[in-house]
Amino acid sequence: MFKNTQQGYGIVAIVLHWGMAALMIVLVAMGLYMVSLPDAGFDTRKITLILYHKELGVLALALAIARLCWRLGNVLPRLVDRLPDWQKVAARFVHLSFYGLMFALPITGWIMSSSAGLSVSVFDWIDLPDLVSRDDDLFALFIDIHKWLGYALIGLMLVHIGAALRHHFFFKDETLKKMLPASGLSD
């Protein structure tokens, strides 16, 4: 029930998956919205959103660490048997890419903040140490890196969601149901 099996994911993996999915959607939506706001003026929404975005990014990094540790200590459920080899490779590539982005996005955001001379707070409990010293050129570079990694995350999310729905509604196999609580979706 708690641990993964060859047939499906345990409740811990399911909660980590859906929690991280919701968090990534919120972070992407916040990121897209806050960059559309003006930098100057008396409107403090952008600064407020950046602060929340950074704190949620730290939470995402912590969840990514927890998720990776859980993944390394558990069996990975089998893919659908009738899946062509190229789709098995594609599925593994997308999952590995998600793990890479779950680490790269918060770390690049942290580097971006450090290079701007802005601390990263863990919900006002502690300030994380700067990863690099203040450097305006590095800050500009990491703005672009963070942005493009965010776009890559959006693309992977769309591929992942599309593939899961395709398996559920067209192939009617167990792929999506493995990541749902026992009640699952009705067909």
Q: Does residue 185 lie within any of the structural domains?
A: no
> Burial letters for 69-81: b for 16+ Cβ neighbours within 10 Å, e otherwise?
ebeeebeebeeee
pTM equals 0.89
The lowest-confidence range among 112-116, 158-162, 180-184 is 180-184
Could you report the per-residue pLDDT of 4-31, keeping only the tens digit for each?
888 889 999 999 999 999 999 999 999 9
Q: Does residue 119 lie within any of the structural domains?
A: yes
Which domain does 119 fall in, by range?
11-179
CB 178 within 8 A of CB 8: yes
Asked whether the predicted pLDDT for residue 41 surpasses 90, the reply is no
Mean pLDDT (whole number) for 36-62: 89
CB 15 within 8 A of CB 3: no
Q: pLDDT confidence of 175, banded at 50, 70, 90?
A: confident
- CATH number for position 57: 1.20.950.20
Kindly state the percentage of the chain with pLDDT values over 70: 97
The tokens for 9 are 């994911």
Mean pLDDT (whole number) for 59-87: 92
Q: Please state whether beta strands 126-128 and 120-122 pair in parallel, antiparallel, or not at all (unpaired).
A: antiparallel
Mean pLDDT (whole number) for 125-134: 94
Q: Count up the domains in the chain and report the number.
A: 1
Q: Does residue 63 lie within any of the structural domains?
A: yes
**Can you say whether the dihedral through the CA atoms of 53, 58, 61, 63 is positive or negative?**
negative
Element at 120 (helix H, strand E): strand 120-122
Q: Does residue 6 lie within any of the structural domains?
A: no
Own/partner pairs, 128-134, CB within 8 angstroms, 24+ separation: 128/58, 131/107
Q: Does residue 146 lie within any of the structural domains?
A: yes
Mean pLDDT (whole number) for 118-147: 94
Q: Does residue 59 lie within any of the structural domains?
A: yes
